[in-house]
Amino acid sequence: MHNPYVVGGWVRGPNFYGYTGLIQDLLNEPPDAYWVVSLRRGGKTSLLKEIETLTLAGGRYVPLYWNLEGLSSGKGLSEELCYAAEDAEDRLSEIGIHRRDLHCYDFRLSLRAMAKACRSHQKDLLLLIDEPEALLKIGASEPDTLALLRKTLQGTKGIRTVLASTRLLLTLSTLGDAPTSPFLYGFVKKYLGPMSREDAEDLMRQTKMPVQVEVSKETANAIHEATGDHSYLLQSLCFRLFEPDGYLRTPEEDDLIPIDIVAENFLLNWRFMSPKERKTLLAVAQMEPVTEKELLSELGYNLYEAKTVLYSLQVYGYLKLKDGKYTLQNLMLRNWINSKAYRRLLENTSEAMLNDRETEELMKEVGESEVRHLFEKLESAQKDLLRLQERRDMFAGYLVPLPLLKQIEEKEKEIDSIVTSLSRLESLTPEIKELIDKIVQGAG
């Protein structure tokens, strides 16, 4: 059996696992502009490519993957859009768009032409924009170009946009006065964090493949602990653990020492962290397991500062909270931070690409978006539970079917999980607590 794990490249289709809920939100929820934020090698390109693959099957969208990597001018934007359209020639020709209809000197005219053609077929143009960090260079030298791009993306009927990048894109707001600063205004922020435990095990076992990989419960648990279910770390470690006979061996101590490419990726993401995030992560590494109160005493933050930083580090999979205590989220991260080769470097690193204010504002927006999403899920789950309970009550005096009781139990667990998530978010910032109070009052 060949090694099925993909390390370093993007995946889609049968090689892509997880994030079903996020993809559904990006395709179906209002509004029509989303920014997906992730770590380097966090799966951003794979997410966009999977969305492209899913929407090729038909339906509401005509997808167009637009990679901005290496661009530095409006001219480059226009040319790269035409190259993207060439790659999507088959699907665009179905709605009557050919290269001669595009304006490779003006991205605005090309986007509007494609959107108009989509509308004539009762479809929307789905722009999947990768590596939008290039807009930082464009915005610095051509702020008008950035303003026109935003206006076109959010002002043209029939365009839905999904950006996927690291948090570095936040620094668009520091380029100067309008028109560059409001570029991200109107984009709903979503984060691409670690996989769910169930999806991670599907990836380990390659459940979408005709022949699956054998993984013992002991090995699966060890891989969870080692990687924290980060997709890149999972693929990397599983690649090393794969045996030609078609099973994963249990990781040994040497397997948990990050190889050079993994260590360098940790360091690159360290540079994208704010000073407070770095300080907090190092403190947890030194004190773990550690309570919030102990961290507050050690770091000198006020409550809301600490809540925001800790929430951010959990969202991106650096920390986990169990029984009221914080620890590093995975063994590979722990081994990297505590290694002689990197620990002193991390403690003395002063350069930071992002400041505390930018990251705190982002997490507040992410938190507010998550609150609204959780309340919608809670309302839906409560309605489902009520219907299930009504069905159960119809069996009064008779034996209730076990599958129905199981459904009720699972729905109650789902509601408990949502309530727990909301209580965690409630103390994140005063604004989020106020938002929760308003939603509750409105629901009442």
Q: What is the mean pLDDT of residues 203-216?
A: 97
- The fraction of the chain above a pLDDT of 90, given in percent, is 66
In the sheet that 319-322 helps form, which strands lie side by side, from edge to edge? 290-291, 325-328, 319-322
d(CA 436, CA 425): 9
For residue range 263-278, list pLDDT tens digits in order.
999 999 998 899 999 9
Judged on CB neighbours under 10 Å (0-12, 13-18, 19+), 43 is buried
Lowest-confidence segment of 129-138, 149-158, 372-381, 434-443 by average pLDDT: 434-443
Identity (one letter) of the amino acid at 288? E
Mean pLDDT of the chain: 90
Q: What is the mean pLDDT of residues 244-271?
A: 94
CA 316 to centroid of chain Cα atoms: 8
d(CA 20, CA 39): 19
Q: Which residue has the higher pLDDT, 74 or 426?
A: 74
| 223 token code pair | 């891989």
Residue in 183, 191, 154 with CA at minimum distance from that of residue 36: 191
Q: How much is the pLDDT for 181?
A: 42
pLDDT at 177 over 60: no
pTM over 0.75? The answer is yes
